[in-house]
Amino acid sequence: MADVEKQAYELAKGKYAEHGIDVEAAMDKLSKKAISMHCWQGDDVMGFDQPENAASGGILTTGNYPYRARNFKELTEDFEKAASLIPGKKRINLHASYAVFTDENPWVDRDQIEYKHFEPWIMWAKKNGYGIDFNPTLFSHPMVKEGLTVSSPEKEVRDFWIRHCIACRKIAERIGEEMDDMVLNNFWIPDGLKDYPADRYGLRKRLKDSLDEIYSFETPHVIDSVEQKVFGIGLEGFTVGDQEFYVSYAAKKGGNIVPLIDLGHFNPMENVPEKLSSLALFFPYLALHVTRSMHWDSDHVTLFDDTMRELSYEIATIPGAWGKSRIGMDFFDASINRVGAWAVGMRTMEKSLLYALLQPAKEMKHLQDTYQFSEKMMVYEAAKTMPFGAVWDKYCRRQNVPADSDVWAEVKKYEDEVMSQR
């Protein structure tokens, strides 16, 4: 089998070389690109600070697959197993609801959390060579009142969540200092109404005023991002933080505040990858949450589909986008093995980026710029059946992770030996 794989790879490398594509350089480039792996897939977005409450406030997980991680030890254990199946560099993406409380650092509410509540995560990340990204958690909490947080008409509610977001920015800054890194701190709110609003302006004015207070101080180790959504479950009539609001706000504020694009948070008919080229012209970073939408749901495990390939092509070919893109995964599925979900979704992102790096982009750009549209179309189609699989298998072997066909056996073995004992 090894000889067959070697022959297949050499043939593939030669085929790509005919189009001026250096396969070895593509694999080397991909191996250095960190993808942020989200903690909330491992426990169905339950978190550690409100364990008695199911996910709520615009967040919904469905399914009852057993063996959900229940604490920091189990979650990091599952994370490490999944990471061992995924090629490339990794970061971890933390929500504030995953604060670790101990006898020395007992439970506090979200507006009182501090860096010390995340020190176990930082120590673990350093040990494993992971970077960290962060998110305030404005859902699954009693202070989400009638679907509203920082846009609420109640000052007490707004102030609670403003304090929470300020605390999170301070935590993210401290993480950045401790790890000598830039931390993406992403702001998402569920705020919206089930039916048509009587006062859109008032809700958005309160959101703007809250954000002004949240971002009133400098955090040199933080990239602040603001994430839109077209609607939420139970909030179908109106979303306060839509794309127009956040792009406008980020552009007005300047600095390190950028809009974050979540692939599942747009109208189903919108081409989300198409948005990157516009944002890349005006913002210092391209912040992404990568997921797969289906009908009205936004958080299915990513697969190697047209959207993923097009998204990756934009990242790989827009000037400067590779360096300034901050890619985080954002799916959660309680109906399947959670380690397997992580492995498939993260591998899909890596696979899509490698596929993009192996496209004849320069050739197609030349054909487009010289109005040779018929030939461009044919080159585009021919590239789809290039021997990509052999290169992907080679990349996985070099990264010491299994090929696609061998992943499930590893996941099932871990489920039988570790997860089933919970």
pLDDT at 295: 78
**pLDDT range class, residue 53, cuts 50, 70, 90:** low
Rounded to whole angstroms, what are the CA distances from 145 to 57, 155, 158, 204, 371?
9, 11, 10, 16, 56
Q: Which tokens is 341 given? A: 């979900």
pLDDT at 79: 98
Q: What's the mean per-residue pLDDT of the chain?
A: 95
Cα(193)–Cα(72) distance, integer angstroms: 35
Percent of the chain clearing pLDDT 70 (strictly above): 97
Q: Catalytic one among 33, 229, 275, 376?
A: 229
Q: Which tokens is 363 given? A: 């050739």
* pLDDT, mean of residues 249-261: 93
- Which range has the worst mean pLDDT, 143-147, 255-259, 382-386? 255-259
**pLDDT range class, residue 267, cuts 50, 70, 90:** confident
Cα(321)–Cα(353) distance, integer angstroms: 12
1 has a pLDDT exceeding 60: no
Q: What is the pLDDT of residues 349-404, one digit of tens each?
A: 999 999 999 999 999 999 999 999 999 999 999 999 999 999 999 999 999 999 99
**pLDDT range class, residue 55, cuts 50, 70, 90:** low
Q: Catalytic one among 43, 191, 224, 262?
A: 262
CB burial of 136-167 (b: ≥16 within 10 Å; e: otherwise) equals bbbbbbebbbebbbbbbeeeebbbbbbbbbbb
**pLDDT range class, residue 342, cuts 50, 70, 90:** very high
* 265 counts as catalytic: yes
Q: Catalytic one among 49, 133, 242, 299?
A: 299
First to last CA, the chain: 38
Cα(9)–Cα(305) distance, integer angstroms: 23
Beta bridge partners, 199, equal none
Higher pLDDT, 253 or 57: 253
* pLDDT, mean of residues 1-9: 85
Q: What is the pLDDT of residues 177-201, one digit of tens each?
A: 999 999 999 999 999 999 999 999 9
Q: Catalytic one among 40, 121, 161, 188?
A: 188
Burial (CB count <10 Å: 0-12, 13-18, 19+), residue 1: exposed
Cα(356)–Cα(313) distance, integer angstroms: 5
Q: What is the pLDDT of residues 9-28, one digit of tens each?
A: 999 999 999 999 999 999 99
Q: Catalytic one among 119, 297, 310, 404?
A: 297
Any idea where the domains of the chain sit in the sequence? 14-421
**pLDDT range class, residue 122, cuts 50, 70, 90:** very high
Mention the CATH class of domain 14-421: alpha beta
Higher pLDDT, 407 or 254: 407
| Contacts of 282 by beta carbon, 8 Å cutoff, 6+ apart | 251
Q: Catalytic one among 49, 173, 242, 330?
A: 330
pLDDT at 47: 94
* 262 counts as catalytic: yes
52 has a pLDDT exceeding 70: no
Q: What is the pLDDT of residues 198-228, one digit of tens each?
A: 999 999 999 999 999 999 999 999 999 999 9
Q: Catalytic one among 49, 78, 227, 410?
A: 227
* pLDDT, mean of residues 250-268: 92
406 has a pLDDT exceeding 90: yes
Q: Which tokens is 378 given? A: 């044919």
pLDDT at 50: 76
- Which range has the worst mean pLDDT, 44-48, 56-60, 101-105, 368-372? 56-60
8 Å CB contact between 87 and 39: no
* 111 counts as catalytic: no
* 227 counts as catalytic: yes
* pLDDT, mean of residues 159-179: 98
Place of tokens 């505040």: 257
Q: Alpha-carbon torsion 308, 312, 315, 319, what sign?
A: negative
* 289 counts as catalytic: yes
Cα(187)–Cα(136) distance, integer angstroms: 6
Rounded to whole angstroms, what are the CA distances from 69 to 76, 100, 334?
9, 14, 11
Treating both helix axes as pointing N-terminal to C-terminal, what angle do 361-369 and 373-383 enclose, rounded to 10 degrees? Answer: 160
Pairing of strands 183-187, 297-300: unpaired
Cα(180)–Cα(131) distance, integer angstroms: 10
